[in-house]
Amino acid sequence: MHRSLTIAILLIGTCAAWGQERPTPIPPPAVDGSHVSGSSEKAVLAGGCYWGTQGIFEHVKGITRVVAGFAGGQNDDDGGAESVMITFDPKTISYGQLLQIFFSVVHDPTQLDRQGPDVGHGYRSDIFYMSDAQRRVAQAYIAQLDRAKVFPKPIATRVDALPAFNPVDLSQQDFMLKNPHLDYIKVNDVPKLASLKQLFPASYRSLALQYRY
């Protein structure tokens, strides 16, 4: 299990500042895959606790499924990163647009081996590419944002080939949607939904709280 609810609630005293961060408007990627005609594509992204990463992307139009899990290992003890596997419709949203939301709303890409109150290599920022095209888009976008000094510090996000993706059990899937009133979620993740709606109003969609995995 990712963490107990008791631990999540105890963290509230240390993480309030992170939940109040303002969203970072960033330019779209200059290099991107076009809106191709395929029926679906997949992307694997690691941006800290998968509760919030999954919950944010589930509110993005064009995304048909988001699965929480670990990429690169079975868990954080063997090098795995808390990640999500996103299935999306490339006719509606491009891979580069996913990365724009990832960098601006989902997490702080300048933090190394941590996000907010969660510390460790398993919480690293990592883009696990599934094709050379994804690798090129990711590397070019990071270089573009660093050159433009969009963030106050260099981007720490890694770009790695996807070795494996291991979904977590059902109790951890759709956790943010099923537990919107948990203090950890309210402080760290709910503000990100407001940021998504503010920065990407055309891409935002509402969901019922009891989203079915």
* Marked catalytic residue, from 15, 49, 71, 106: 49
| 49 belongs to the catalytic site | yes
CA dihedral 134, 141, 16, 191 (to 10 degrees): -70
The tokens describing 74, both together, are 């079975």
Taking 3-state DSSP, the helix, strand and coil percentages for the chain, each rounded to the nearest 5, stand at: 40, 20, 45
Residues 6+ apart with CB under 8 A from 75: 122
What is the Cα 157 distance to its own chain's centre?
12
Q: Which residues are catalytic?
A: 49
